[in-house]
Amino acid sequence: MLQFSKYQGLGNDFLILDGRDAGAGAAGADGCFGLNAEAVRRLCDRRFGVGADGVIVALPPRQGGELRMRIFNADGSEPEMCGNGIRCLARFLADSDGDQPGRIWQVETLAGRIVPELRPDGGIRVDMGPPFLLPETVPTTLPLGPAGLPQGQLEVEGLVLEVAAAGMGNPHGVIPVLDLAAIDLERLGSALEVHPAFPARTNVHFVQVLDRGHLVMRVWERGAGPTLACGTGACATLVVCHRLGLCDNQARLDLPGGSLHIAWEGEGHSVFMTGPAEAVFDGVVVPGLLDPEPATTPAASLDPQDAAPPTPAAPATPAAAAAAIDCATACVNGCLRPEACPSAEARARVAALLEGRSLDELVALASASGESRSLGRGPTDVDP
């Protein structure tokens, strides 16, 4: 069974898998526990799975760091970085390994080397690296504007919006507004995410300036939709608003899930993000959730380096097509085909697993690593 820990940073929640021992084969050949995009979606489903905004896997380093982080959105896609996610990962590492305040980790990500630090109050301060302010590095087709970053007008859902962009290893579009409560985030966020001006799609942030040291923002995350917080988004928003002359070079940013403190000394300097990350619970996932039906071919790896040319699928027979029933949705009121249930084998395997272990054994599996982490957890009240 797959062991995980659930952590949240300002309500942005993640399932964390420890694959740092992948060399011993514990995490599978690809280091990601055999997960594929569909398995990630099942894990993150808040009704049929565990429920999360994403899955984080801690892996051995490849480029001289201490460890490597891979993160997957709830839709199965892989972003370059996640600020709330890396704070959660750092808190998980500290809890797991018994680290004390002042501990620093060198974490390899698709956005480069990111450096979180455990603070005495239990919060995490992260050196997020310098922002990307040239259009091609965001990437965006918005032209470089007078504020020294990509900016311009975009037509979205019949409205013309003043949009500025910045990269934090992943793309962000920032729109300052006078009344944040009046913004239709679902409509405008979803449209801006896939706007042609952002060829790799984008995270979308609407921000209202209360004063030069206090901003309020709402988040639409690429691949996840509206979330309670976005760490890289808060960093990008501070950078954009400072370049536009709307705020100082450090400020409190209020998100729906809580507050972050962001500081940036200007061009060529790193952006620093400080905020909380807390454990929620530890658990195990039964095999049936990740592999609900017997696989006829190996699951696709999430690691691009393991990609192989696809094998053409044979034409589906009428019997095979009839068997393609999603029991989680089609059979909510009872099995549609009890004489030939397509998920019977998977359910039988889960039943056998549960019958073969006592309740005490199942609880022990779920809490084996949790107890040591709980003992190692320090205070989590954060006052940036």
User: Is the peptide bond preceding residue 139 cis, with omega within 30 degrees of 0?
Assistant: yes
What is the 3-state composition of the chain as percent helix, strand, coil, each rounded to the nearest 5?
Answer: 25, 30, 45
* Distance in angstroms (rounded) separating the CA atoms of residues 271 and 154: 27
- What are the tokens at 96? 């797991």
Cβ contact 48:328 at 8 Å: yes
In contact, 255 and 104? CB cutoff 8 Å = no
- Is position 88 annotated as part of the catalytic site? no
Single out the residue of 169, 139, 166 nearest to residue 239, CA to CA.
166
Q: Give me the catalytic one of 32, 230, 247, 327.
A: 230
Active site residue 230: yes
Q: What is d(CA 54, CA 15) in angstroms, rounded to the nearest whole number? A: 7
Report residue 372 as tokens.
């040591």
End-to-end CA separation in angstroms for the chain: 39
Residue 328: its H or E element: helix 327-330
Contacts of 111 (CB under 8 A, 6+ apart): 80, 81, 129, 168, 169, 170
How far is the C-alpha of 334 from the C-alpha of 219, rounded, in Å?
39
Catalytic residue selected from 82, 235, 241, 327: 82
Asked if residues 244 and 269 have their Cβ atoms less than 8 Å apart, the reply is: no
- Return the residue matching tokens 């600020």: 83
Decide: 257 and 12 in contact? Cβ < 8 Å. Answer: yes
Copy the structure tokens of residue 382: 């954060």
Centroid of chain to Cα 36:
15
**Axis crossing angle, helix 231-243 with helix 83-97, rounded to the nearest 10:** 130
List active site positions. Answer: 82, 230
